[in-house]
A and B are shown apart, each in its own frame.
Chain A
Amino acid sequence: MARDRTITCKVNGRAYEKSVPVRQSLADFLRDTLSLTGTHLGCEHGVCGACTVLMNGRSVRSCLTLAVQADETDIVTIEGLRSDSGEWHQIQKSFHENFGLQCGYCTPGFLITAIELLEENPDPTENEVREALSGNICRCSGYSAIVTAVMAAARDMLELQKT
């Protein structure tokens, strides 16, 4: 069996064609091959959620996804959240303004998970936010500020849509 395969994919809007070892995880591909080290590995067995990225708009654990599975997909990582003009995504602003991070290691996964939630449910209750974030571990914050940040982002995004 071939040890390497060539994949084509789009990451943060940029097209790539790369040869990858078939055993390489998507996380290692993003971090080591593309130097996108904003995606963090916390457990490498799919529990902590720090490595969560968007693949075709859905959140995936990049530690449990193989790089070859990313063939012909569209990936978004934390590095791709800013707009073309360099503006922060509302969720980044909201995490900052609400002190939604401490050590910041889990933050990329929370941002991505929150973005997926707000795409599906733009006006979530606090309970729905907690439920949606329950697959991501934060060891520093006790989640309170994170939940507040996601609720605030939802409000701000709804406001923006109205205007």
Chain B
Amino acid sequence: MRFSNEKIVGTSVLPDEAIPLLEGEGRFINDISFSGMYHVAFLRSQYAHARLVSVDTEAARAMPGVIKVMTGAELAGKVEPFRSMPNRFSGGESVQHWLAVDKVRFCGEAICAVVAEDRATAEDAVDLIEVDYDPLPVVTKAREGEMDDAPRIHDECANNHLIKREYERGEVDEAFANAHAVVERSFHIGRKQAMCLEGRGCVAAFRQGSFKLSVWMSHQLPYVVRHYLAKHLKLGETDVRVIAAQTGGGFGQKASIYPEEFLCSYLALQLRRPIKWVEDRLENMVASTHARENDVELKIAFDKDGHILALDSDIWADVGAYSTYLWSAGMEPLQIAGLMPGPYKVPAMRYVTRGVATNKTPVGPYRAVGRPTASTSLELLLDDAARQLGMDPVELRKRNLITADLMPYRNANNLLHDHVNYEACLDLSAAKANYQKLREGQESAAPNGKLRGIGVACFAELTGLGTSTAVGPGTLLQPGRDAVTLRLETSGALTIAAALPSQGQRIATAMCQVAADELGMKLEDVNCVTNDTAMAPYGFGTFASRTAVFGSGAVIKAAQELRERLLALGAHLLETPKEELGIVDSAIQTLDRSKSISLANLAEQSFFSAKHIPDELNQGFEITSFYDPKFGSFAAGAHTVVVDVDPETGDVEIVRYVAVEDVGRVINPAVVEGQIIGGIAQGIGEALLEELIYDEDGQPRTVTLADYLVPSSMEIPKIELHHANTPSGAIGGFKGCGEGSIIGAVGAIACAINDALSRKGGDLRAFPATPERVLRALNVEMRDA
């Protein structure tokens, strides 16, 4: 390269995005107010399943300060309810009204909305509404819910199968018949949720004229919301503007479409006033999507050398009361089943998977949908197999990993593995953890009668999915194209516009780094907006570890075109052949720097003093490029975890955590480290602490942060993080890094616990590994209180 900038990609640039957050000026959804704004509070169902006999709102309506009380009956017919997104594998339909009509199907379902002058008044009025419920029998477990005699949650959905898929590829029966060993295992993981520190919320505002409806929302997919708002409210799409406000965590929970924000938008149109609703924690725990709660029965055939011959799985996902809007109920059941093989060679596989409706909060996408369940059940089984075959668990894994020399490699789940090195991750993880030494010292290492366990888990995480690979399997929703606009302002600064909002991932910073490198600009001259449909070109938004891949790819494509335009004009203005020019430090210059024009000067001339510039050289410095990587990019990792289990108390302590990750080419190392460690922390919660518990009547028992335990600074150990990065096949070599680590965390911790328990004949099959479950797995007698 003749013109070289110091590369900004690959350095831990301090993110400007953090500055307002450090000064208390983040302006999250609850910080946005308009004069004349009304506030909404919801009356929510106290029953898991009931007929609504009557809803008496008279006293609420009469309360001073109350503007309106909306019921499901009043709303019915005026807006389109949420019908489950068609899915090739759907068993039956669910229809979710924005406010319940006739029936409620989970505790927390919205029945009425009260609009008042302030939130406190709205909440007071909610207490005055009298609802007469006629309770119906409930379904609280997937495997009971699919029985022929189980209560039906939706009339059109037999066996409560919102999703059912059967799949077979390769000679599965033959493999099991000829196997040297067949190993079986059951696995259960509890229900959890994203627990963003900020709940959902919106401010919806109406005005006559253009942009009739503007909605500020705490959401990951502003353009998708705009499309569906217009559709459901029967507005023109250009009448709607959606702005993803500063968002306090997403993790997938803010990637679905929910009734509350749509109802507030409807109310804003009806009442012609700005309307605000912000979820409180209780609402968030019952009305925002949950995740996981899966049962797996897994069976694998091995040959005598420990090679996997075939995999057979039976999967039940409790998907809650409704098919989550847009994504369908297929997220967990289809992804657990389809992604079960992970990074391992599986020549033949078969599965039956079901998403069963229950009278619980709907399940939606959450960090690494399905994969922690798939990976953990498989990794635990591999440890069982290693014990049975008398092999070391790491050696067994090495024999089954898809190695780089086999790539591109198509597995029995039809996914193509390429540009990833699973073996390098495992080798580095074992080396950094000093695995052999850990094993040799395992017997003597644990203090005070504790059981020491070592767990190693490998994972594959498909990121940055293009149009050829489904994010929402079986659905019409196939995100895979996103656009970025680069615009050189007349000041010479560059604006990047994209609909790829951040929930803390420093997406704008990353795109600025990529653009600065591609265009030869100073980082301080580059700015980025990511959250506004009125300012950004089309984009699906931020989810599924896609944004670094799509945003950077589109930035690079657009920058290449913009660069050509800038150099062409630069050549004219400097009277120098284009080939002799480059862009360095935000200026177009010759190699010897004898001639130079700053982009600021060029941009200003091109707009304000264009008289002497040929028209064809002055077609604007604004380029929009779409990027579709077609396939996904596999990220990967191998985590090694050492735990000490206390057989007296059931307590699990993580004493060592070594994570090795392949996240492709890294844009901002410190940001990537934050993503990985943050994912591990949520994985620690998933493996040890977090569970949403329901009683047999479908009543949620975990409705505060005092009942539902998320890890604090005391539960997260020091994480030793190492990289074994392989560039992806996408433009720039980038991969996503937002989700992978949670998969490795749950798997490695589960394996470590069972490694410890196995020394006393214990085997844990249900997670999270609460002290009670650990003690029961060790057959400790417990008096049920």
Contact = CB atoms under 8 A, between A and B. Distances in A.
Which of A21, A96, A102, A137 gathers most chain B CB within 10 Å?
A: A102
Interface of B: 12, 14-15, 18-19, 21-28, 30-31, 120, 194-198, 246-251, 280-281, 503-506, 670-671, 673-674, 677-682, 704-706, 710-714, 716, 718-719
A139 interface: yes
Nearest to A24: B120
B280 A101 contact: no
Contact of A47 (B22, B249, B704, B716): B704
Contacts of A36: 24
B248 A105 contact: yes
A95 B22 contact: yes
**Secondary structure class of chain A's binding surface, majority of residues:** loop
A43 B329 CA distance: 28
Contacts of B198: 40, 42, 103, 105
Nearest to A107: B21
B197 A144 contact: no
Given A103-B198, A134-B712, A140 B23 contact: no
B714 A99 contact: no
Nearest to B285: A43
Given A137-B710, A142-B719, A92 B23 contact: yes
Interface in A57-102: 77-79, 81-82, 88, 92, 95-97, 99, 101-102
Given A38-B23, A40-B28, A111-B22, 17 more contacts: A43-B704, A44-B280, A48-B705, A78-B22, A82-B23, A99-B674, A102-B249, A103-B197, A107-B22, A131-B713, A134-B714, A139-B196, A139-B678, A140-B249, A140-B504, A143-B681, A143-B712
A118 interface: no
A26 interface: no
Contact of A104 (B21, B677, B711, B719): B21
Contacts, number: 166
Given A102-B504, A104-B18, A38 B26 contact: yes
Contacts of A107: 21-22
A141 B671 CA distance: 10
Which of B194, B503, B705 gathers most chain A CB within 10 Å?
A: B705
Interface of A: 21, 23, 31, 36-45, 47-48, 50, 77-79, 81-82, 88, 92, 95-97, 99, 101-108, 111, 129-131, 133-147
**Secondary structure class of chain B's binding surface, majority of residues:** loop
Contacts of A95: 18, 22
25 contacts: A38-B25, A42-B197, A42-B281, A43-B281, A44-B281, A45-B705, A48-B197, A50-B197, A88-B22, A96-B22, A102-B505, A102-B678, A103-B247, A105-B26, A105-B28, A133-B712, A134-B712, A137-B705, A137-B712, A139-B682, A142-B677, A143-B712, A144-B677, A144-B716, A145-B673
Nearest to A141: B678
B195 A142 contact: no
B680 A142 contact: yes
Contacts of B674: 99, 102, 140-142, 145
Given A43-B281, A140-B678, A133 B713 contact: yes
B256 to A, nearest CB: 18
B171 to A, nearest CB: 44
Which of A78, A79, A143 gathers most chain B CB within 10 Å?
A: A143
Contact of B677 (A44, A78, A141): A141
Contacts of B680: 142
B505 A38 contact: no
B27 A101 contact: no
Contacts of A101: 18, 21-22, 504
A151 B621 CA distance: 46
A43 B120 CA distance: 16
Contact of A96 (B14, B25, B716): B14
Given A38-B25, A99-B670, A101-B21, A130 B714 contact: yes
B470 to A, nearest CB: 28
Contacts of B21: 101, 104, 107
Contacts of B673: 99, 145
A39 B23 CA distance: 10
A23 B250 CA distance: 32
B714 A92 contact: no
A82 to B, nearest CB: 7
A23 to B, nearest CB: 8
A138 B251 CA distance: 13
A12 to B, nearest CB: 10
Nearest to B249: A103
The 3 closest A-B pairs by CB, nearest first: A38-B24, A104-B21, A105-B248
Contacts of B682: 139
A47 B703 CA distance: 12
A145 B677 contact: yes
